[in-house]
Amino acid sequence: MKQSIQKRRLWLTVGALVLLVALFLGIWWRYAEKSTVGSKSIVITVTYADKTEESYKLKTDAEYLKEAAQAVLTLDGEDTQYGYTVYSINGAEANFNDGNAYWAIYVNGEYGNYGVDTQPVTDGDTYAFVYETY
Amino acid sequence: MRLCMRPISGGPLRQLIQMAVCTALIFGVQVAFSALPNIELVTLLFLLYTHWFGKRALLIVYAFVGLEILLYGAHLWAITYLYIWSLLWLVAFCFSLKQRSTIFWAIVGGGYGLLFGLLCTPVYFVTSGPQAAFAWWVAGIPFDIVHCCGNVLTILVLYQPLDQLYQKHFA
């Protein structure tokens, strides 16, 4: 009897975990940033190690930042387990594998939560690649 | 198979050596698995260490955190590490007082992996505000789900064999 109650409790806990996963998926589906389809006007800026800045205004149909950025910038990097990692922009390198610098992505001035190939592109937004050290 | 927390035998020096080896092992395993996104053995090992060493496992937790900061540098994530692994230790310690099955520990590890991002958000809430913290958490939910599944699988597969290995040869 006691064992049966313990088993039931265990399966209830498994069910609760599955429900929690479903709830989290629902939240992600509802609130995660999504790209918009069609033409968008965006601004891409690059801030190099010496603080010089380049700015590009462009119209793009790209859904994600990597494709949009490649229209105006020369990106060099590689696909990693976390997505595409940028190592150099227009020949300027910031490679955390070979130093303590990296290309940070900002969206409308806020630190980006996505990689360059998963950052959705939205009309009117400003995307910044900034050379940062740690 | 039911498992419960047992006191380790041997003198203080033996225990200290065991804990030092366990710290080196967990750190090495973390570095070895760092190429895989959110697939790790740290949760499994901390659950086992709490099972084996009880309160003393907290020393391994902070030794591990110290080594991580030395290797990767002190950033925002380092602040989360100051409480997030000790929280796992606390949960494991409380539940270890009673006998628990491997499936139970798999659920604990899975839940911990799923909540990992959410548990990190207080730091981002303070530094960047509530909206940024929420956006950061939402963006990482797919990684948290991978973390959850990875923890469930690794604990189901490795918890019992590693525990038996320890009890047979080192306890």
* Mutation target among A5, A9, A17 for the B interface, most CBs of B within 10 A: A17
What pLDDT is stored for residue B1 in this prediction?
41
Low-confidence ranges of chain A (pLDDT < 70): 1
User: Once rounded to an integer, what is the mean pLDDT over residues B156-165?
Assistant: 95
| pLDDT one-digit tens code per residue, B122-138 | 998 998 889 889 989 99
Residue that the structure tokens 């050290």 belong to: A133
Q: What pTM does this model have? A: 0.79
Q: Which sign does the torsion angle of CA B146, B147, B148, B152 carry?
A: positive
* Better pLDDT: A111 or B28: B28
Element (H, E) at B34: none
> Pick from B7, B33, B5: which is nearest to B105 by CA?
B5
Which residues of chain A neighbour B128 with C-beta distances below 8 Å?
Answer: 110-111
Nearest to B141 among A14, A28, A81 (CB): A28
Element (H, E) at A127: strand A126-133
Q: How many CB atoms lie within 10 A of CB A103?
A: 24
What pLDDT is stored for residue A80 in this prediction?
81
Assigned fold of A40-133: Ferric Hydroxamate Uptake Protein; Chain A, domain 1 (2.170.130)
Backbone region of residue A108 per phi and psi (left: phi > 0; alpha: psi in -120 to 50; beta: other values):
left
Half-sphere exposure of A128 (CA within 13 A, CB side): 15
pLDDT at B5 over 60: no
**How far apart (Å, rounded) are the C-alpha atoms in residues B147 and A110?**
26
What pLDDT is stored for residue B132 in this prediction?
86
Would you call B104 and A111 a contact, using CB atoms and an 8 Å cutoff? no
Which residues of chain A neighbour B73 with C-beta distances below 8 Å?
Answer: 100, 134
What pLDDT is stored for residue B8 in this prediction?
52
Which residues of chain B neighbour A100 with C-beta distances below 8 Å?
Answer: 73
Q: How far is B147 from chain A (nearest CA, A)?
A: 11
Contacts of A23 (CB under 8 A, 6+ apart): none
What pLDDT is stored for residue B2 in this prediction?
44
| pLDDT one-digit tens code per residue, B55-93 | 999 999 999 999 999 988 888 889 999 999 999 999 999
Nearest to B73 among A10, A24, A134 (CB): A134
Task: pLDDT band for B24, please (50, 70, 90 cuts).
Answer: very high
* Interface predicted TM-score (ipTM) of this complex, two decimals: 0.83
Would you call A111 and B128 a contact, using CB atoms and an 8 Å cutoff? yes
Domain boundaries, chain A: 1-32, 40-133
Domains and CATH numbers, chain B: 10-169 (1.10.1760.20)
Q: What is the average pLDDT score of chain A?
A: 90
Number of A–B residue contacts, CB under 8 Å: 54
